[in-house]
A and B are shown apart, each in its own frame.
Chain A
Amino acid sequence: MSAEKEHSEHGGAVATSSERLVDLYKKMVEIRAFEEACQKGFRQGKIGGYLHVYIGQEAVATGFIDSFKEGDKVITAYRDHAHALLLGTDPKEVMAELYGKGTGMVKGKGGSMHLFDVERGLMGGYGIVGGHIPLGVGFAYAMRYQGTDHITQLYLGDGAISNGAFHEAANLAGLWGKDGMCPCLFIIENNQYGMGTSVERTTAMTDLAAKFDAYGIENEKVDGMDIEAVLESAGRLTEQVRETGKPYAIEVLTYRTAPHGAADFFEKYREKEEIEEWRKRDPIGLLEQKLLDNDAADEEKIDEIRSEAKELIAEAVKFADESEEPEIDELYTDVYAGADEYTGEE
């Protein structure tokens, strides 16, 4: 995440350096390759449980984590592979986790929905819709209480907004923000569906950013398929939240072109045409076109990036596949912290 950033004086989007765009393109392509490998692993029965991929949404986390600074925290729901990869966890460890191996980033104990890399700022991976939101608000308070200038990047889905946990946490954030005690950036990944339910069928008021008005939290929207637009918002808002200690909410309009979960085949809830329309605005495709148009990269470079990504992920798959299952004794560790490691069986 080291590429130089360029901001306009007025906080508007400006052209991003070619090198940086190529770098971001590479990341997105890696994520896509990773997710496709996951889908394959699931079909092969190598990955179990629930699996939710990020295909179509890559520009969101890629854009925001570009503004991540050491000490900041990222928290999200179960669609969390991209966040781990972008924060720098080795794809091998991510894939090994999904394969349920002892070399996985959480020792095979969590699986796809529960990725953690606390050292790098990834505070999880949660499976209960909305349940992680209060935690992220708590992180923000703690970081100010401890006198740092770190912030929380809190990702949530459009579906999560209907949940009471969202409401209570957002209200706390607004309240604590009055005293500069809640540096939390709410990033609403509005991919327009919560499982099979469209936003229109979830709420009568579909302007998700504006829902934050109810909590006194400033908010805006951005096109989540346009990486440059995302970068601009990310840079500006991250620093604003860091400076003020006040929360901010941004609704990122995006679309998952993959099914909700890997076991969700039918997709009766949306038309094929709709998916096709959105594929035309695929964030990777859009960026690729831009790179080519601006001579930031040529076909050769693109091919190189793609095949490097494939290779990287193939290695991750190999690593995962060849790793051992966790030791059986690991079943009983990590239940309690502290000397006693009490497991309830005296």
Chain B
Amino acid sequence: MREPLIFDQGRPGRRAPSQAPGIAGPTDDLPAGLLRRAPPPLPEVSELQVVRHFTRLSQLNFSIDTHFYPLGSCTMKYNPRASNKLAMLPGFLDRHPLEPEGHAQGYLECLFDLQEMLKAVTGMSGVSLTPMAGAQGEFAGVAMIRAYHVARGDAGRTQIIVPDAAHGTNPATATMCGCDVVEIPTGPDGDVDVDALRKVVGPQTAGIMLTNPSTLGAFERRIAEIADVVHGAGGLLYYDGANLNAILGRALPAAMGFDVVHINLHKTFSTPHGGGGPGAGIVAVTERLEPFLPIPIVGRRDGQYRWLAESDRPQSIGRLSGFMGNAGILLRAYVYMRLLGAEGMRRVSGFATLNANYLMKRLAAAGFTPAFPQRRASHEFIITLKDIARDTGVTAMDFAKALLDKGFHAPTTYFPLLVPECLLIEPTESEARQDLDAFAQALIDIRDLALRDAAEVKRAPLTTPVRRLDDVRAAKQLDLTWQSRASDRPNPTASPN
């Protein structure tokens, strides 16, 4: 059943009166010219209407808690409910961020311990928890690389090398840091083309951004050589830790030669994705970048925990958030890491890899084409549907939609860009074999139907709250607010004011 907009459920004057002060205090001292003339157009609804509306809306979503969700590169693993409950204890939740350190020792101890564990899993020597998502971690990393070169009087290093398989945030980050992006190709085996790399490095090289395993789902085997090439040219290596789940407790980015790494805590350390965040993109660095880490950082002296700030870290790239990053997400990751422990972390990568390789094998055996069949899958892998798309017209997007009808969230589609008609599939370690088998069977059934009746597949999805949506219209006839609908102007993109 469709759920009307909350605005359309309101009636003038309706309220949820328990939620606001019974009477409003006087505002007679405020300058009349600054007062609002008309109340803001917020919904006027009852508490029950709100609860019912958002409960119903929630039911329109696929989520980890309701569906297998093998969205590649996103590590949609089980989010333990304990993390949520414990991070929301009043002692953490009701603290003002500027409360004195003496009032917050329990909280600071969690963050300090978290910093230490993050050093252990990266092999790095310094950590800052402040970046609020992977992309902000990337920003911090590249900014530190830039600051390092500048501090050494080597300000001309403004190029960031990025493989063509890289996530979009990598080149976008380089731009935000004022660097130029130099793209290098992937070789046919899925590894970076090291010869191409050699050709582009030089005195202008600030550094390289890599994920390992890459977004192709394969471990970069020549990583040591790459590190030598980049370091040899005076550049630094940035590790995009979005794929850390694949190697957790098996290999350390520091040992691979990386100078800085971010980790998406919302991936490897299972904080919730929340329908689009919040995440946390902590950064860890080797010794030479430590002075540049963003602040604040938690320090310890004489058993007391304290914030390290500007005065402690004068070379810091500065502050990246109004207070202390996504504190509640850090606490959730902390709980998860303590639940896993060292042995549990190794098992995470082991079973994530087992699930991915098993599913890749099953699909290959059923006639699907892995993008890199000769390689081990890391915690994820790609299949390309280009043959079937060519033969039947059924595309990766059609497969994605047909999967929804079978009760599975779709894998990542059309990323990385270099593999045509691709599905990037990441089952994660928390899914059971029976669900992998069911998912494989669903893909097989869709493929078989595509061969028999391509048009039928292209009708999918049929069972979702809406059927296939018109994206083009969404971008052309912009309808971004309820106000724009209410407007009686012919062109819905016009400003409703």
Asked if A and B bind, the verdict is no
Binding site for B on A (CB under 8 A): none
